[in-house]
Amino acid sequence: MEVLATIGLILLISAGLATVLHQTGKFNAYELARQQCISALQASLDSVQTTGNFLSKEELKRLWPNVTVEMQQSPGQGVWKGLSFVEGKAVRRIKNKQIQVQLARYIRQAEKKE
């Protein structure tokens, strides 16, 4: 009888551990996708700030193959006049979940380098 109780307890602990490991794996995959989106957007914003140009679609796909990035630039309004408002959205899908991150920044107009 004690052997059966011990086996049952070990099985229960194993099932709980498997569940925890599975949930941890899902959370880590979500966080990795979120960090990839943030990295792609920050690199794009930094590129606009330093060179005046957005990163090319090819460069973004090479560095972050699973992330889709959309960037927009508009002139600043009101007290922000003279600056550019640059905003971006990055999207990545993991299984049936979509991760979306948005970042924006006011920057001084850099001279465009070709």
Tens-digit pLDDT profile for residues 23-45: 999 899 999 999 999 999 999 99
Rounded distance between C-alpha atoms, residue 108 and residue 16, angstroms: 54
| pTM, entire model | 0.79
The whole-number pLDDT of residue 52 equals 87
DSSP character string of 11-27: HHHHHHHHHHHHHHHHH
Element (H, E) at 63: helix 57-63
Phi-psi region of 45 (alpha: psi -120 to 50; beta: other; left: phi over 0): alpha
The whole-number pLDDT of residue 28 equals 93
Confidence of residue 113 (pLDDT cuts 50, 70, 90): low
* Percent of the chain at pLDDT exceeding 90: 76
- Who contacts 113 (Cβ-Cβ below 8 Å, separation ≥6)? 51, 52, 53
First to last CA, the chain: 80
Is residue 108 within 8 Å of 83, Cβ to Cβ?
yes
Give the 3-state secondary structure percentages of the chain, helix then strand then coil, rounded to 5: 55, 30, 20
Q: Could you read off the pLDDT of 46-83 as tens digits, one per residue?
A: 999 888 899 999 999 999 999 999 999 999 888 999 89
CA 69 to chain centre: 10
Identify the bridge partners of residue 93 per DSSP, sorted by sequence position: 98
Q: Could you read off the pLDDT of 73-84 as tens digits, one per residue?
A: 999 888 999 899
